[in-house]
């Protein structure tokens, strides 16, 4: 793969996908130090890539900021992705395709990699002249689901799934390589929709399964020496984090309200609230003894150090906690199909984490759950964590085959 130039589009919302894309990029460079990787991404993913010294194309400045659009579409601790996709995302995707068209005209590349780059996948099908190189697509779920009885939402979901499944006959994907972050059992064993193919069977037929992708080796944190290195003492540590968007502000406020109940019953307990890159720490109540932080690089190290964590139901952070084998509570965003169905079902299969509902959990109940989990031992088995290497190897094979 020497001399190969890769255009890597880190799509989706927040920071989780960018972290795994960086892990794949590092493995690509381990296979061939001469590979050149150019990036397109929106905020806050672009900030993370820049901090890691990656080469962001100038067109990134014009790339659609889907995270900001999702934040505006949220209603408190609720985000219906289908409603968002049917409204704000369409204009964002149009801008992204326009920027991508400029990139394809200016920068020659040998391979295109897109992490949930749906808009680009659709554009390449509609406008084949934009395709300049083999395309690898990365997913961590298969198919969409409506969360309400709204007929428009259900129609939009069915139309999207029709295209994803390739119609009733289940046509193969148009991409040369499709990678799935996870295992076959992580794909729902049910149809995309009425008269459409079974999701798991379709994925088994057309996708390559990676296991899980992490920017770290979970075994390196098994001894938890990182705890003292980060400045934490022996007091019980509760870490609360909401990822790369501002949507989780209400969850951090709930954690803050639970802290006085926890403090009364657990001597010396320490609670740290991590707001992430897009949430002002001032939005969270500053209570005596409660620590509020903004963006924390390498948050996974702090997750490894904690005694129990409270997080949103996002796929990345919950998987990191599962791999690190730390007790945790997770709150799926209400009306968010991926967090309520895909992520929650995967965690249930691994027997990892404790699921709670934001709208049904008062501060006292959260404190009770944290007390129950503090000092507890996890019982779930280890999960496969070499997905970044597998992805890089498969991408490398595609590059070599395209050059033959």
Residue 64 pLDDT > 80, yes or no? no
Q: What is the CATH number that goes with domain 5-214+386-403?
A: 3.40.50.2000
Strands of the sheet containing 328-331, edge to edge, are: 290-293, 270-274, 237-241, 308-312, 328-331, 354-355
Residue 241 pLDDT > 90, yes or no? yes
Average pLDDT of the chain to the nearest whole number: 92
Q: Among the listed ranges 72-86, 170-184, 289-303, which one has the minimum average pLDDT value?
A: 72-86
The domains of the chain are located at 5-214+386-403, 218-373
* CA-to-CA dists, residue 229 to 33, 221, 226, 261, 289, angstroms: 31, 12, 5, 29, 21
pLDDT at 200: 98
How confident is the model over 123-138, as pLDDT tens digits?
999 999 999 999 999 9
Confidence tier at 83 by pLDDT (50, 70, 90)? low
Q: Are 254 and 361 within 8 A, CB to CB?
A: yes
Same fold, 5-214+386-403 and 218-373: yes
How buried is residue 330: exposed, middle or buried, by Cβ count under 10 Å (0-12/13-18/19+)? Answer: buried
Residue 68 pLDDT > 70, yes or no? yes
Token pair 């897009």 is found at: 278
Residue 58 pLDDT > 70, yes or no? yes
Q: What is the CATH number that goes with domain 218-373?
A: 3.40.50.2000
Residue 222 pLDDT > 80, yes or no? yes
- Greater pLDDT, 64 or 215: 215
Alpha-carbon gap, residue 187 to 12, rounded angstroms: 19
pLDDT at 2: 60
Confidence tier at 88 by pLDDT (50, 70, 90)? low
Q: Which of 152-161, 195-204, 218-227, 374-383 has the highest mean pLDDT?
A: 195-204
Quick one: CA dihedral 80, 85, 88, 89, positive or negative? positive
Per-residue pLDDT, averaged over 292-316, amounts to 95
């Amino acid at each position: 793969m020497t001399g190969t130039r890769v255009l890597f589009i880190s799509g989706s919302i927040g920071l989780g996908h960018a972290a795994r894309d960086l892990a794949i990029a590092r493995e690509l460079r381990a296979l061939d130090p001469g590979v050149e990787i150019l990036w397109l991404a929106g905020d806050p993913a672009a900030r993370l890539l820049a901090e890691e010294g990656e080469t962001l194309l100038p067109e990134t400045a014009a790339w659609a900021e889907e995270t900001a659009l999702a934040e505006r579409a949220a209603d408190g601790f609720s985000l219906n992705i289908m409603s968002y996709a049917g409204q704000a995302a369409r204009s964002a995707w149009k801008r992204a395709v326009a920027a991508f068209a400029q990139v394809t005209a200016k920068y020659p590349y040998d391979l295109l990699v897109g992490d949930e780059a749906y808009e680009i996948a659709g554009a390449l099908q509609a406008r084949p002249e934009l395709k300049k190189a083999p395309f690898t697509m990365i997913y961590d779920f298969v198919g969409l689901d409506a969360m309400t009885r709204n007929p428009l939402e259900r129609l939009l979901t069915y139309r999207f799934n029709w295209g994803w499944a390739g119609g009733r006959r289940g046509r193969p994907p148009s991409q040369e390589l499709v990678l799935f972050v996870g295992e076959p059992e992580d794909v729902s064993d049910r149809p995309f929709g009425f008269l459409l193919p079974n999701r798991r069977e379709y994925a088994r037929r057309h996708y390559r399964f990676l296991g899980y992708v992490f920017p770290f080796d979970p075994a390196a944190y098994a001894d938890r020496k990182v705890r003292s290195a980060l400045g934490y003492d022996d007091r019980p540590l509760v870490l609360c984090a909401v990822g790369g968007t501002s949507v989780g502000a209400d969850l951090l406020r709930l954690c803050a309200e639970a802290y006085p109940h926890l403090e009364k019953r657990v001597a010396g307990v320490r609670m740290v609230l991590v707001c992430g890159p897009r949430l002002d720490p001032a939005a969270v109540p500053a209570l005596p003894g409660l620590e509020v932080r903004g963006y924390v690089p390498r948050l996974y190290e702090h997750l490894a150090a904690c005694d129990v964590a409270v997080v949103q139901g996002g796929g990345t952070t919950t998987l990191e906690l599962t791999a690190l084998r730390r007790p945790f509570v997770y709150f799926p965003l209400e009306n968010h199909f991926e967090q309520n169905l895909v992520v929650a079902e995967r965690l249930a299969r691994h027997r990892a984490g404790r699921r709670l509902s934001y709208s049904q959990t008062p501060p006292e109940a959260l404190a009770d759950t944290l007390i129950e989990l503090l000092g507890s031992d996890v019982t779930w088995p280890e999960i496969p964590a070499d997905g970044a290497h597998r992805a890089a190897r498969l991408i490398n094979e595609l590059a070599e085959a395209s050059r033959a």
